[in-house]
Structure formats: C-alpha cells, structure tokens
Structure 1
Amino acid sequence: MEREYSPDLLFIELTKACDYSCIHCRASSISEVSPDEMKGYEIRKLLENLTSSMERIPHVIFTGGNPLLHPDFSSILMDAARLRLGFSVSPAAGDFLTVDQIFKMEEYGVGSISLSLDGTPSTHDHIRNRKGSFRKTVELANLIKSEGIRTQINTTIMERNIMDLPFIFHTLRELGINIWELFFLIKTGRGLGEEPISAQEMEDVLKYLYMLKVAGFSIRTVEAPEISRIEIETIRKGYMEGGTLLNALAVETRKLTGLDIFDLEIPEQYNPRRRIRTLFISSTGDVSVSGLFSLSIGNVREQNLIDIIRTSHVLKDISDSGRLLGKCSSCEFNGVCGGSRARAYIETGNFLESDPSCAYLPPNTIREIR
C-alpha cells in the first residue's frame, strides 16, 4: 500500500449551473450559478496550493454542470496556464461552447476537450432533454478536432442505451476520434430515475469494450474497473467469448463498421498497471473520491487539499485492497480491479463492500457456495 493517496486526475466542478437538464445528471444541474459556489479567487488559491504542496501534481479537469457558465471561467484558465498545470475541460455541447470559447481554451493550452454522446440521435436527444443535441455535439466535436485539440467522447451506459454502443462507436470512427470514456450509471442525482445495466450485462459490455481497445481505441471505464479482470482473463484464454448481449453488440458493430471483433488477434501479454486514482472537488468545495462517490472527505474552503488527503481514512481504506469486504476481499484480481467503491457505497452503505455490479465469483467464493 502506498503511504499517501496520490491522484492522477483532479476533477474540479466549477458550477452546477448548466444549459442542459440531462435525465441522468449526477450533479442534478441547476439553471443559474449559485451564490454558494466557489469564486474565481478561491479556485486560484486551490490551484496555487496544488502546485506548491503536492509532490506529484495531477491533471486537472474543469467540469460542471457546464464550466463555461462560471463567471470567472476565463480567468481560471488563465491561472491554470500561468501555473503551468496540465488541464482539460468538459463543457456542455450547447450555445455557450462557441468558436471564440474553443479558441480561448486552445490559447490557454487546454490538453483536451470532452463532449458527451449517449446514443443514436433520438436516444441522445431524449437523454439530454434537447432536440438537435446530437447534431450539435457532432458539429462541435468536428470543430474541436479540426483545431488540433485532443478530443474525447464521454458516454454514460445505462439500460436505456446499451444497444446504442455500436452506433456511438461507428460515429466516433467517422469523426476520427478514438478516445472514449464510458461511465457506468450510478444511481445518484437525477440518475435515480434511470436503470443501470445488470451484472451479467456489464460482463458482456466490458468484453465488448476490451475488444474495441484491441482494435486500437483508447478506452477508459468509470466505475467499472472490472475491465482489467476481463483483459487478463481474455489474454490467458487467447480468445473472446461471451453471452447473448456480447454477440448482439458484435453483430451490430459488424453491420455498421465491417469490423468483426471476434476476428481480432488477442495480445499475448498483459501489461500490469494500477488503477487511475481520482479526486473530485464540488462547486462548494467538498472533496470526494469521484463525482459519483458522494461521501465527502473534507472541504477545501476549510483545509488545504494536501491535508485532506493525508488525514482521510477513506482514502487510506480504498488504497488498501486488504480492507475490502465480501467476495472482493478474496478476489485474485483485487489488486488491479478492486470494484467500484462508489457503487458499493450507494447500494450497500459501506464503500468497502463488494461491487454489486460484478458477476465474477472468485474460486474461494465458489468453494464456499458448494
């Protein structure tokens, strides 16, 4: 176990205000900036503390809501550039994301800009609660990419859009974008009204995503670290096999793109890597492990971030796979996976419990059941 939790990515929610009102929004976005949210000078102080107190400075992602709606958005980017921070922006693909804003982000040295696509045009527009949202997002993604800015697409996976994944993959290939970050729905915020996919469906979806990774896509899953287990198991076997859903996704992908994921050559070796570590700071200063992990471990308005990290028992616990409970505790993959702590917390009340979305049964668990 490492002595200190060292985040790779730091998400800073500038505001919950957004021009969208998506049906799954974890932030339960609001229409206007709240007076309770951190001001520009508070964000500046936070960024300065990062560079002065942290030995390894994480990559910062400015998110929301829609971060463009923060009244000090431009000066915040200026501060990030002045401090030579690596940073990215995750804006809403609406009227506020103008050509001038894109140029401004480029001028300040934005590392990447991420937009969301959640299905076919009709599915996406329904999820985003706005007609024409899919078309607008594709237009903006094209514009951002044409400026030479690293462009990422985010997708939230839920029961509603599970069979739209091949269409999104096809769309990304047409756009020439190969960076895809997939969030597996956690029932929080407005997402309480949506249904997450089942544990068995997650197995097939993760197998599908791993094969897209083999095909050359950069895939990152959020709240589904089980993809590391899928990767190891597949490499050991040397071939991919799955259930009905995987076969259906494969058939649809072949129809749309001509790619047969079952014909891809499986790599011979697994390159070990630890999980990406994240921290999230809300618009009012609360710190948590991620935006979907609602347990606060402190507030940057009251304490320096580095002090919060060093004193948090939550961070110490989730950094130690030996502290995990249930089948996660005996799983031979807990060093590379560890399950979703956010989902465990939301569904069981204990962030150290087993991830309810994982269908895998470790050998010890199987013996106990028998």
Structure 2
Amino acid sequence: MTAGAGRTAGRTLVRRPRQSVDERPFLVIWESTRACPLACLHCRAEAVPNRNPYELDGPEARRLMDQIASFGKPAPLFVITGGDPFQRPDLARLVAYGTRIGLRVAVSPSGTPTLDRDHLARIQDAGAVALSLSLDGSTAERHDTFRGVPGVFDLTLDGWRTARELGLKVQINTTVSRHSLPDLADIAALVRREGAMLWSGFLLVPTGRAGAMGALTAEECEDVLHFLYDLGAMMPVKTTEGHHFRRVALQRAVLARRGERPALGPLHARLTERAVDLGLFEGERRTARRPPMDVSSGRGFVFVSHTGEVHPSGFLPLSAGNVRDQELPWIYRESDLFRSLRDPERLGGKCGACEFATVCGGSRSRAYATTGDPLAADPWCSYAPGSFPYQDELRETVPRPVLS
C-alpha cells in the first residue's frame, strides 16, 4: 500500500493518508453530547443546556470505539467533541478505554468553567494526546460576543496555557466569518504568541445556528485562503471545510518556481497589511510548510452524532446509518452516501469539471447547506476550472491516488 502526494523539488505539497480512504477513515469525530452552557452564534450542534437521554451511553461508546479500532492499524485518530464533552462524567474513563485498545484520542472541549486543571489532568492521565480549542476573537469582547457568554475568552486562554503546561498538544480553531474577518491577523498573532501545534481556519458552513450568519463571497474566501497560505511560512496552519486550500498550495508552488505571485483582492491586501503591522512575517521562517491533508466529508472523515447517527461530516447532516444498528466500518465502506462522496466523477457543476476535483472536490457540507445537494459545486470557490496558466507543471504536482 503506497501513499500518493503532490511533490515539487523534494517537498510534499499535499499529504494523503497512507491507507486507502475507500477502506478506512483518517479521522473519526464523535459528538459525545450536545450539552453545553454556551450560546455560540455559529453552533453546528445547536447546543442545549442539558444532556439528551438518548445519547450513546458508556457501553455504547465503548462499542463505538471497538468498531473504530476494527478498521485496523494504524487506527483512525478519534476526537471526542460536543457540545462540551466535559459535561459527561465518564469522559476520562472513555479516553482511557480508547487509549487501551490502541486509539489515538483527542478531546475538543468548550471554554467553560469545566476547562480547568483538574479536568485537563484527568484526560491527560487517561491518555489523551491532544486538545482542540476554539478562539474566535483576539480580545475578550470579540470572542465572548461570538460565544454568547461573558468570560469565555479568559477561560479558554487559561485552559490553553494549562494544557500546554501539562504537556498536551493544543490545536486552535477559528471560525472564518463576517465577525472574525477584520480580526484574523490579530487572532493569528495571539496563536503564535501563546503557542499551538496548529491553527485551523474553519470556513463557515451555514448549518445549525450558522445559517443566520452572513456568508463570505467566493472572492473573499480566496483571499483568506491565500493569506493563510502566506502565514504557513511562519506558523503551522490548516483549514477546515476549506478544501480548496489544497488547490491553493499546489498553484502557489508552481507560481513560486516561476517567481510569480497570484493576483489577489483587497481583503488579502488588508489582512497582509495588518499582519505586517503585527510583525507576523518577522522572525525565523519554518523550514517546511505543513502540507494540507487530502481528507474531506466521507472521504477519510466520518462523524458520529450523540445519538449514534453516522454523517460524512458534522456539518453535513445526512445520515448513512446508526452505529446502534450497523457496524461503523460497513457504513463507511458500503453506504451509498459515503461511496458517492468518494467518487469525484459524481461531482456536479464546476467542481465536477475542475482539474483539482481529485485533490480538492470542494466542501460537500457547504454545497448541501446552500443547494440541498451534497454533490453540487462549492459556492465559496472562485476558481474557474482550467484557468490556471501552467497546466503541464500543475499535472506534475497533483497527488497520485493511494493504491490498496
């Protein structure tokens, strides 16, 4: 079994999982509960104060982890999210069980009073390898407005610092929305100053409460992706639901070889100017960029809801089955929904006609949220298929598929 990757001058530009994504996911996320005291403007889960009595209980959660382990070694990365997973009193026991059966377990809690040293130490002692936290503003006023509750910013920073002191790796997630656009460079500066293994820019999907938030234009999205790419020379950066970041990485590598830069819009100019003012491009550059991973909804990625429903993504609310009734490996490998999402020839609109279809494919979640069709074109992509001027050089860098 071999891994295909886009390469230029010995550098990997886009990574692909070493195992075929037709056979196993790279990442499994479990929504352990929807209980959460926050009222975030964009909440996918439309979180509520109390736990649902129909959540997967402890034995069912352990059976789910057994099913994930049955995909084989190396096991998929398993992320326990919510709501706020610390609302489950059995969280540390579940982390310990997953670790014992060979899973790499990460936890994605909310910035609430439960994000304290005691809870963090428990999950670390249980074997958690990483923590994922959300930061949607560079100041308490901006972040707390987005999260709907005062004090969340300070709780998040305290938990972040404590996690790092305990030795947990920390990923910081930022929702790219109308609210955060003017603040993106300042958030990046805060992430760089505090230290994180990774900063992830989540391009908003209008589902759940986020349906009421203003959408970005495709041109603004392009500017943001190129800004994140530029920052990647100074700090580790990735995107969530920004699959065309992989296209950007391939295009920029070809342009860099030619000593050229892309023509970008006014948002990119404003973000760059602010980043320069903040000194984000000063200091030692990274020896190598973090290549984006070629994983997307149903194609290397699977989401299990608090009641056991299996979705291609937490932002694509179509169910392919329930782990209470069917084994997760069967749902992932054989369900019509997942199989269709892994077939680039079934993509519609310009995504289907694009030369980057096999390495990008667009956000299936955003396509579904805006059109009702998970195979439609991603409305937040401004690229016109075939318009990149150096197609021959591009073909040399597009990753080859994994052979199983």
TM-score normalised by length of structure 2 = 0.84
Matching residue of 1:319: 342
Q: How does 1:158-197 map to 2 (within 5 A)?
A: 158-197=177-216
Give the drift of 1:2.
5.5
Q: Which has the higher helix share?
A: 1
Q: Which residue of 2 aligns with 1:347?
A: 370
Aligned runs of 1:147-296 on 2, under 5 Å?
A: 147-215=166-234, 217-238=235-256, 239-241=260-262, 242-259=264-281, 274-275=294-295, 277-296=300-319
Whole-Å Cα distance in 2 between the matches of residues 155 and 271 of structure 1? 19
Give the equivalent residue in structure 1 for 2:30.
12
Larger relative contact order, structure 1 or 2 (CA cutoff 8 Å, min sep 6): 2
SS in structure 2 at match of 1:298? coil
2:302 aligned counterpart, secondary structure = strand
1:172/1:178 contact within 8 Å kept: no
The residue identity in structure 2 corresponding to 1:41 is P
Question: CA 1:265–1:180 in structure 2 vs 1: closer, same or farther (change >3 Å)?
Answer: closer
CA distance in 2 between partners of 1:364 and 1:240 (Å): 15
Structure 1 segment 96-111 matched on structure 2, within 5 A: 96-111=114-129
Structure 1 window deviating more from structure 2 (323-332 vs 269-278): it is: 269-278
Moved more, 54-63 or 29-38: 54-63
Write the distance in 2 (CA, Å) between the matches of 1:175 and 1:167. 12
Superimposed CA distance per residue, residues 4-35 of structure 1 (whole angstroms, 9 cap, x where no aligned partner): 34211100010000121111100000101111
1:307–1:56 distance in 2 versus 1, CA, 3 Å: farther
Per the alignment, in what secondary structure is the counterpart of residue 172 of structure 2?
strand
Q: 1:181 aligns to what SS in structure 2?
A: strand
SS at match of 1:15: coil
Q: How many aligned positions are there?
A: 363
Structure 1 counterpart of 2:43: 25
Distance in 2, Cα, partners of 1:36 & 1:265 = 47
Unpaired runs of 5+ residues, structure 1, are 366-370
| DSSP 3-state at the match of 2:179 | helix
TM-score after normalising by structure 1 = 0.92
CA separation of 1:24/1:270 partners in 2, compared to 1, >3 Å: closer, same or farther?
closer
> How far is 1:57 from its partner?
2.1
Q: Which runs of 5+ in 2 are unaligned?
A: 1-18, 389-404
Comparing 6-15 with 76-85, greater Cα deviation is found at: 76-85
8 Å CA contact 2:236–2:290 kept in 1: the answer is no
After superposition, the CA RMSD in angstroms is 2.5
Q: How does 1:36-115 map to 2 (within 5 A)?
A: 36-54=54-72, 56-115=74-133
- The equivalent of 2:331 in structure 1 is 308
Residues 157 and 271 of structure 1, relative CA distance in 2, 3 Å threshold: closer
Overall identity of the aligned pairs, in %:
34
Query: Is 1:361 aligned with 2:379?
Result: no
Task: Please tell me whether residue 144 in structure 1 is matched to residue 163 in structure 2.
Answer: yes
Deviations 1:72-112 (A, max 9, x none): 21221221122121010000121112211111111112110
Moved more, 304-313 or 14-23: 304-313
* CA–CA separation in structure 1 for the residues paired with 2:186 and 2:128: 28
Letter in 1 for 2:295: R
**How big is each residue's C-alpha offset from its partner over 1:181-234, in whole Å with a ceiling of 9 and x where there is no partner?**
12111111111221121110000000000111122x222211111011111111
| Higher deviation after alignment, 162-171 or 127-136 | 127-136
> One-letter code of the match for 1:171?
L
- Taking the aligned partners of 1:304 and 1:258, their CA distance within structure 2 comes to 47
Q: CA deviation at 1:274?
A: 3.3
